[in-house]
Amino acid sequence: EHPDQPYLDERCEREGAGCKGVYRVRKGKVELVTKELDRPNGLAISNDGRFLWVCNSAKEGPSWSAFFLSDALPLVRSFVLDSRSLGQDLTPGPGRPGASDGFRVDVEGRIWSTIPGGIAVIHPARNTVLAEVRFKTNTSNVEFGDNGDVFVTGVGHLWRLRRQ
């Protein structure tokens, strides 16, 4: 089995809400948005405000699902980006430890996401990975800074990259 973080899988089943899901609070009430994903993790809203992006940190490999935002629940998954649809191996393996975690959507609508052992820049409209940076350690989050800076966190590390 993949050397994975416990991710509270067993505790969720034993003590949790009965399912792993994405929730929202609306008018003081907690609502289940979707329970379609095994390990929902990072969240982002598309630039046009039409979609909720959710990263699934599954052991077998990351995926990013776009859910059409509406008042009606559960939200409907519109499409999924993963290794198969992107035509690129983003799964854990030698030199690629960990899982996907945090991500951001830039002003062009591209997804900058942690992946096993690094980060990837994904163009959802083109269904392609534009770039990868491999750190060969677990990565956990991505944040945009000023003047094109991209900050990436990982086990015991903080990296700064420069966007062109």
Distance CA 137, CA 35 (A): 29
Distance CA 148, CA 136 (A): 23
The residue among 109, 88, 101, 112 whose CA lies nearest residue 138 is: 101
pTM of the prediction? Answer: 0.89
Rg (CA), the chain: 16
Instruction: Write the pLDDT tens digit of every residue in 76-110.
Output: 999 999 999 999 999 999 989 888 889 999 999 99
Instruction: Write the pLDDT tens digit of every residue in 15-70.
Output: 666 678 899 999 999 999 999 998 898 999 999 999 999 999 988 889 999 999 99
- Residue 2, pLDDT score: 43
Distance CA 102, CA 46 (A): 15
Please answer whether residues 85 and 143 qualify as being in contact, where contact means their C-beta atoms are separated by less than 8 angstroms: no
Asked if the model's pLDDT at residue 1 lies above 50, the reply is no
Contacts of 69 (CB under 8 A, 6+ apart): 45, 49, 50, 51, 52, 75
- Residue 98, pLDDT score: 86
Partnered with residue 52 across adjacent β-strands are 45, 67
- Residue 5, pLDDT score: 52
